[in-house]
A and B are shown apart, each in its own frame.
Chain A
Amino acid sequence: MNGAERIFSVTRQPLPPFEVCVQSGQLAVRQALRKVFEALRPLDLDVEEAGTIEIVLAEVLNNIVEHAYPPTGPAGPIAIHFIQQPDGLRVKVMDQGNKLPDEKVPLVTAAPLDVELQDMPEGGFGWLLIQHLAKDVTYARVGKENHLNMRLAVGLPS
Chain B
Amino acid sequence: MELASKTEQDLRIVSVQDTRIDAAVAIEFKDAMRHQTDGGPDVVVLDLSRVEFIDSSGLGAIVAAVKHMGKGRKLALAGLTPTVARVFELTRMDAVFSVFPTLEGALAELKPQ
Contact = CB atoms under 8 A, between A and B. Distances in A.
Interface residues of A, number: 30
A84 B64 CA distance: 39
Given A122-B64, A129-B91, A29 B59 contact: no
Interface in A116-136: 117-118, 120-126, 128-129, 132-133
B90 A128 contact: yes
B91 A123 contact: no
A16 B52 CA distance: 27
B112 interface: no
Interface string A18-51: 0000000011011000000000000000011011
A50 B82 CA distance: 11
Contacts, number: 74
- Residues of B contacting A: mostly: helix
B83 A129 contact: no
B93 to A, nearest CB: 7
B56 A129 contact: yes
B108 interface: no
Contacts of A30: 20, 22, 24
Contacts of B53: 54, 58
Contacts of B23: 29, 58, 62, 65-66
Nearest to B20: A30
B87 interface: yes
Given A30-B24, A59-B56, A47 B63 contact: no
B67 A29 contact: no
